[in-house]
């Protein structure tokens, strides 16, 4: 897949919960950050968007009667908690990190300013974008596609617990086949659950390839970004040369 100079890494909140499934597992946070720190030391410019599902799942709250905007606001605040945990872990590893939030809270983090974020990346700092888009009704997947577009990322890395995109649920169907490449069009028409339609469409419009990979397998991030190994599945207009 080749080496990317500047990437946007999308992490789900659930990955930070570890085996517990809820809350923050600091060991899981440390393990993820050690992988990220390794590629940052190789000169890759890394920005991140993190979800908040390990603390607050807005969809479930809405199903139980909570007003959608209120639930989404709570979910966005949950992403800030996760972003601060990631920042703390990375900085203890000696990696300079900035958190920028779409909801202003200057005592905690910088407000999102595109040009400042790009400047941080150019200086070798990791930038973690928190609070989604700052507006309800938008997922953190859409926030990731938006921020990737704004900073001119060469790739959006969708970190998951599975090793790519499958034609069926691999947890339910042992015969499900992994798809090394999926076009933007097919990703939308197939209704893939890897990211929502708005995120796929935004990446297609701005020609930002999406790599879906297993972030829990040690060394995968380095293999993708430093070694250029064909890990996971690629969503793009056309396959890339290895």
Residue 1 pLDDT level (bands cut at 50, 70, 90): very low
Specify whether the CB–CB gap between 235 and 179 falls below 8 A: no
In DSSP terms, 178 is beta-bridged to 166
Nearest to 48 by CA among 139, 110, 121, 135: 121
Q: Is 57 annotated as a binding residue?
A: yes
Question: Is 10 assigned a ligand-binding role in the annotation?
Answer: yes
Residue 242 lies in a domain: no
The response to whether 97 counts as a known ligand-binding position is: no
Establish whether 136 is an annotated binding residue. Answer: yes
Instruction: State how far the Cα of 180 lies from the Cα of 163, in Å rounded to an integer.
Output: 10
Lowest mean pLDDT across 41-55, 107-121, 154-168: 154-168
Domain that holds residue 162: 6-236
pLDDT at residue 172, as a whole number: 87
88 annotated to bind ligand = no
CA dist 36 and 87 (Å) reads 11
- The per-residue pLDDT for range 146-205, each reduced to its tens digit, is 999 999 999 999 999 989 999 888 888 889 899 999 999 888 888 777 888 999 999 999
98 within some domain: yes
Does the annotation flag 101 for ligand binding?
A: no
DSSP state letters, 108-125: TSEEP-HHHHHHHHHTT-
Give the mean pLDDT of 219-225: 94
Q: Is 169 annotated as a binding residue?
A: yes
Tell me: is residue 229 an annotated ligand-binding position.
Answer: no
Instruction: Answer yes or no: is 160 a known binding residue.
Output: yes
Q: Cβ neighbours of residue 182 under 8 Å, at least 6 residues apart?
A: 165, 190, 192, 233, 234, 235
Distance CA 16, CA 30 (A): 9
- State the distance between the two ends of the chain, measured CA to CA, in whole angstroms: 5
What value does the CA radius of gyration of the chain take, rounded to a whole number of Å?
17
Q: Which two tokens stand for residue 18?
A: 């570890």
Q: Give domain status of residue 1, yes or no.
A: no
Confirm or deny that 13 is annotated as ligand binding. yes
User: 240 or 185, which is more confident?
Assistant: 185
- With the CA atoms of 170, 138, 40 and 85 taken in that order, what torsion angle do they form, in degrees rounded to the nearest 10? -90
Q: Is 196 annotated as a binding residue?
A: no
- Reading phi first (left if > 0) and then psi (alpha if -120 to 50, else beta), residue 207 is in left
Is 164 labelled a binding residue? no
Per the structure, the count of domains in the chain is: 1
Q: Please tell me the pTM assigned to this model.
A: 0.93
The predicted-structure confidence for 75-100, as pLDDT tens digits, reads as follows 999 999 999 999 999 999 999 999 99
The mean pLDDT of the chain is 93
Assign residue 10 a region: left if phi > 0, alpha if psi is -120 to 50, beta otherwise?
beta
Which structure tokens are listed for 38?
A: 């390794």
Residue 241 belongs to a domain: no
Q: Is residue 94 part of a domain?
A: yes
At residue 192, the pLDDT reads 79
Q: Provide the CATH number for the domain around residue 179.
A: 3.40.1160.10
**Is there a binding annotation on residue 121?**
no
The answer to whether 135 is a known ligand-binding residue is yes
């Amino acid at each position: 897949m080749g080496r990317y100079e500047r990437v946007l890494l999308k992490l789900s909140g659930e990955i930070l919960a570890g085996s517990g499934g809820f809350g923050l597992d600091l060991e899981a946070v440390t393990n993820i950050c050690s992988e990220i720190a390794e590629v940052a030391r190789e000169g890759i410019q890394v920005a991140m968007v993190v979800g908040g599902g390990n603390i607050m799942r807005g969809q479930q709250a809405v199903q139980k009667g909570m007003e959608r905007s209120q639930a989404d606001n709570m979910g966005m605040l949950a992403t800030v908690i996760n972003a601060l945990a990631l920042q703390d872990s990375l900085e203890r590893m000696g990696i300079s990190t900035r958190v920028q939030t779409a909801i202003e809270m200057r005592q905690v983090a910088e407000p999102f300013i595109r040009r400042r974020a790009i400047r941080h990346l150019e200086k070798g700092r990791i930038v973690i974008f928190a609070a989604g888009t700052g507006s309800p009704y938008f997922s953190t997947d859409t926030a990731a596609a938006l921020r990737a577009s704004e900073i001119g990322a060469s790739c959006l890395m969708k970190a998951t617990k599975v090793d790519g995109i499958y034609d069926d649920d691999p947890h339910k169907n042992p015969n499900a086949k992994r798809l090394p490449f999926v076009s933007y069009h097919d990703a939308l028409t197939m209704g893939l659950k890897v990211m929502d339609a708005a995120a796929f469409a935004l990446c297609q419009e701005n020609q930002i390839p999406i790599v879906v990979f297993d972030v829990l397998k040690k060394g995968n991030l380095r293999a993708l970004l430093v070694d250029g190994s064909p890990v996971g599945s690629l969503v793009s207009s056309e396959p890339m040369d290895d």
